[in-house]
Amino acid sequence: MYGYDVKSIDDPFVTGADKSVTLGLEFLVPNASLINTFPMLAFIPGASSQKLFAEVKQLTNEVFRVPMDWAKMSMVRQLGILFLLQIFDRFG
């Protein structure tokens, strides 16, 4: 993904996506939680479902943000190296 090589199943990119999907499935699979049966429970302030929604949202945002940040930093490093090579080629 974005040129990143996953080293193992314990890689942070993999574990974050896995945790997000695992927690989110509770809300997507029919009859997996009471919220699927009684949707109004999702709107009760302080309910554990609200905390779980927030955690899933945060994890999902990280699943998209972290690899993109890695790709941007990788591109910046590559551009820096190419820039230095051009300078050395021009003056060397």
* Closest by CA position to 4, among listed 59, 53, 70: 70
pTM of the model: 0.59
Residue 87 has pLDDT above 80, yes or no: no
The single residue listed with the structure tokens 């999902």 is 60
For residue 47, report the phi and psi dihedrals to the nearest 5 degrees. -70, 150
Q: CA–CA distance from 26 to each of 1, 19, 29, 35, 42 (Å)?
A: 26, 12, 6, 9, 13
Contact 49, 33 (CB under 8 A): yes
pLDDT for res 74: 84
Domain range summary for the chain, segments of one domain joined by +:
12-91
pLDDT for res 92: 59
**pLDDT, tens digit (0-9, with 9 covering 90-100), for 50-76:** 788 888 888 888 888 888 888 888 888
